[in-house]
Chains A and B, each alone.
Chain A
Amino acid sequence: MRTLVVEDEPTLQAQLAEALAAAGYVADCADNGVDAHFLGDSEAYDAVILDLGLPRMDGITVLKKWRAAGRTMPVLILTARDSWHEKVAGIDAGADDYLSKPFHMEELLARLRALIRRAGGHASAEIACGPLTLDTRAGRATLDGQTMTLTSHEFRVLAYLMHHLGEIVSRTDLVEHIYAQDFDRDSNTVEVFIARLRKKLPPDMIETVRGLGYRLVAPDGNK
């Protein structure tokens, strides 16, 4: 899962990025509104954490521009401005959640998980596919009740496929959602992660759709 952190205070930005990385997310960072708008407009993010008081372009404007351009990724506003008229303005601009500073990192992560889950159309914190279960709260995958041992990249690939159960996920999609923007991307590595995951999962759970990408399905065909 790839996230964008927009925060102009460097220490807080670093703390957020660190906490997100520890929770298994890839995090890009922006410290001003113009960069944030460009990144959100050009990259595929699964969630955005957005501060409102930003240099060069304020957060509400950035958010409105994204929504006007049809960007639908979930956005969590993280701001010190927490009067209700500001919250309503934020929500009306297209935010999906609103968290006011100071906050607890666990609460931020919990809300982020809920946003990503809801964006994928999943109501509960756990996503299941046959014997495979993804606990989004704990950030872990279990197979037949046994916790799977996964590297962080393998987990990201699996989590992305789980959030898009039954859908065809292209290799480019996967690359965009598991690597940070400045990472040297190589789509061939995706094939390596898929191959490793296939070894750890029951056969045929990850289908290859020729020319299009991959699809995660339950082994007996039902999800």
Chain B
Amino acid sequence: MSPWRASLRSRLVAGTLCWVIATVAIAGWALGKLFHEHVSTQFHAELRTHLDQLTANIALDANGRPLLTLPLSDPRLSRPYSGCYWQVDSFGTGEDQQGLLRSRSLWDHVLAVPQDTPADGEIHQHRIVGPDGQMLGMVERTIHIDEAVNGKTRSLRLIAAADETQMTEPIARFQGVLWLSLGVLVAGLALAVLMQVVIGLAPLRALRQGLEMIGKGEAQRIEGDYPAEVAPLVDEFNSVLAQNATIVERARTQAGNLAHALKTPLSILANCADGRDDALARTVSEQVAGARRQIDYHLAHAQAAANRLPGARTPIAPVLDGLLRAMRRLHAGRGLDLVVCPLTDACVFHGDAQDLQEMLGNLLDNACKWANGRVEIGVRVDKGLLHITVDDDGNGLPAEQRQTVLQRGVRADEQIPGSGLGLAIVADLAALYGGSIALDASPLGGLRAVLTLPAAP
């Protein structure tokens, strides 16, 4: 996925900016064009004014030569190379002469006008090269004057010209200011869009953080107020989470109730069979023991919360403390020494507290049953994994038995009470979390159990 597709924010910003830039560019072009036309119209209007004044004040002297009866009013026409010029050419009588009369501003320069003869009443526009080599805008018209003396008619071409820079300079200045302001406008709009998007999408960022916290197990639900567009989504998600938790809790309770309901009659049956020694009593005892194993096994699985609640966090220390209190009490007569290595804050299990309690409880109880006097518990965090080591100084297990006791219902010794499921349940629970349990010889002389579980991030 390309980056701008991947992020809502860049999509919104890019989409809006495209339109803003396009619109501003078109507006800028149109404004420039309008201003250009306006200035150009003014420029030519002034030229026409000069031309009209010239037309009004031209006359022929006694020799039939054109002369100006009144000087033209614009002072620029008298200042040399001022950029405003006029010129009178005569033609049509066999004696074509350019620059017959010229404005003072032309000094000794004669405007080179292209061959053109506007019809009566027409005004033509041209662009010509001026005295300084600059471009001039020019208008011309033709007039015919009757000579007073010999009755001949003279054709005169009247020309008014002005430096085009009088027109282009303001346009260039205007364009500069125009594009600068439009640039500022675009920048301002871009900033506004960006802020709008950041503020508008802030709830989504909060939502993402909320989800991350749930993923890490730091929260049970998404907290906070969300805008009307997002709120239904958040509420729905929260209710799914809550429902999930309720389902897990209900399943646990129901499994517990069922087990409770079954175990009391089993106790009665076992007690009835206990005092007797006949075939029926033996069968009852065996079947009760079998039923109990089945119940324990399936209860442990039904109650396992692994994979059901996302990202729970369970610090090891409180769970271990509770279990140690229980172990000290349950094995009080044995005078056991239970030693725990110091735990760091990083010792946090990525999963459910009851599941951890079940796994550790079974391991510790097992170690306490077999220990002669000492049980050691070590917890280590390494690359996102918790390694919980439980050592005892009992007699240990031969290597070939270590694997089999992890299987369901296998007991190493029938003499010490227990359903023979403890380690198998630990193995199954650990596997649900993607962890494992391994048995080994302990440096203390007995069995070492190493439980590997995911550590909370």
Contacts and interface: CB of A to CB of B under 8 A. Distances in A.
A10 to B, nearest CB: 10
Interface stretch (A99-107, A156-164, A165-173): A99-107
Interface of B is mostly: helix
A107 B266 contact: no
A107 B417 contact: yes
A9 B268 CA distance: 9
Interface string B201-225: 0000000000000000000000000
B357 interface: yes
Contacts of B261: 80
A19 interface: yes
B253 to A, nearest CB: 11
Interface string B288-303: 1000100010011001
A81 interface: yes
A88 B357 contact: yes
A79 B266 CA distance: 12
A88 B322 contact: yes
A92 interface: yes
B288 A102 contact: yes
A95 interface: yes
A109 to B, nearest CB: 11
Nearest to B259: A80
A85 B354 contact: yes
Interface string B318-337: 00001101100110110100
A87 B326 contact: yes
Interface in A90-147: 91-92, 95-98, 100-107, 114, 118, 123
B353 interface: yes
Interface in A44-64: 53
A9 B269 CA distance: 13
A92 B322 contact: yes
Contacts of A81: 256, 259-260
Given A83-B358, A84-B362, A88-B323, A53 B267 contact: no
Q: How large is the interface on B (under 10, 10 to 19, 20 to 34, 35 or more residues)?
A: 35 or more
Nearest to B322: A88
Interface string A162-187: 00000000000000000000000000
A179 B269 CA distance: 29
Interface in B227-263: 256, 259-263
Interface string B346-365: 00000001100110111000
B413 to A, nearest CB: 15
Contacts of A84: 323, 326, 354, 357-358, 360-362
A17 to B, nearest CB: 11
Given A15-B268, A80-B263, A91 B326 contact: yes
A95 B274 CA distance: 26
A12 interface: yes
B264 interface: yes
Nearest to A96: B329
Given A11-B268, A83-B303, A84-B323, A91 B260 contact: no
Contacts of B190: none
B270 interface: yes
Contacts of B262: 80
Interface residues of A, number: 32
Contacts of A102: 263, 266-267, 269-270, 288, 292
A209 B266 CA distance: 50
Nearest to A98: B330
Contacts of B354: 83-85
A71 B269 CA distance: 33
B391 to A, nearest CB: 20
Interface centre among A84, A85, A97 (most CB of B within 10 A): A84
A84 B361 CA distance: 6
Contacts of A96: 329, 332
A104 B263 contact: no
B271 interface: yes
A41 B262 CA distance: 31
Contacts of A114: 333
B357 A101 contact: no
B329 A97 contact: yes
A134 to B, nearest CB: 17
Contacts of A101: 263-264, 266-267
A208 to B, nearest CB: 34
Interface in B383-422: 417
Contacts of B270: 102-104
Contacts of B330: 87, 91, 97-98
B170 to A, nearest CB: 88
Q: Which of the listed residues A12, A82, A107, A118 has the most CB atoms from chain B within 10 Å of its own CB? A: A82
Interface in A1-47: 9, 11-12, 15, 19
Interface of B: 256, 259-264, 266-272, 274-275, 288, 292, 296, 299-300, 303, 322-323, 325-326, 329-330, 332-333, 335, 353-354, 357-358, 360-362, 417
20 contacts: A12-B264, A15-B268, A15-B271, A80-B262, A83-B357, A83-B358, A85-B353, A85-B354, A85-B358, A87-B326, A88-B322, A88-B323, A91-B329, A92-B326, A101-B266, A102-B269, A102-B292, A104-B270, A105-B274, A105-B275
Interface of A: 9, 11-12, 15, 19, 53, 79-85, 87-88, 91-92, 95-98, 100-107, 114, 118, 123
10 cross-chain pairs, A with B, having the tightest CB-CB distances, nearest first: A84-B361, A80-B263, A80-B260, A102-B266, A101-B263, A102-B267, A88-B322, A91-B326, A101-B267, A84-B357
Given A15-B271, A80-B263, A84-B360, 4 more contacts: A87-B326, A98-B330, A104-B417, A105-B275
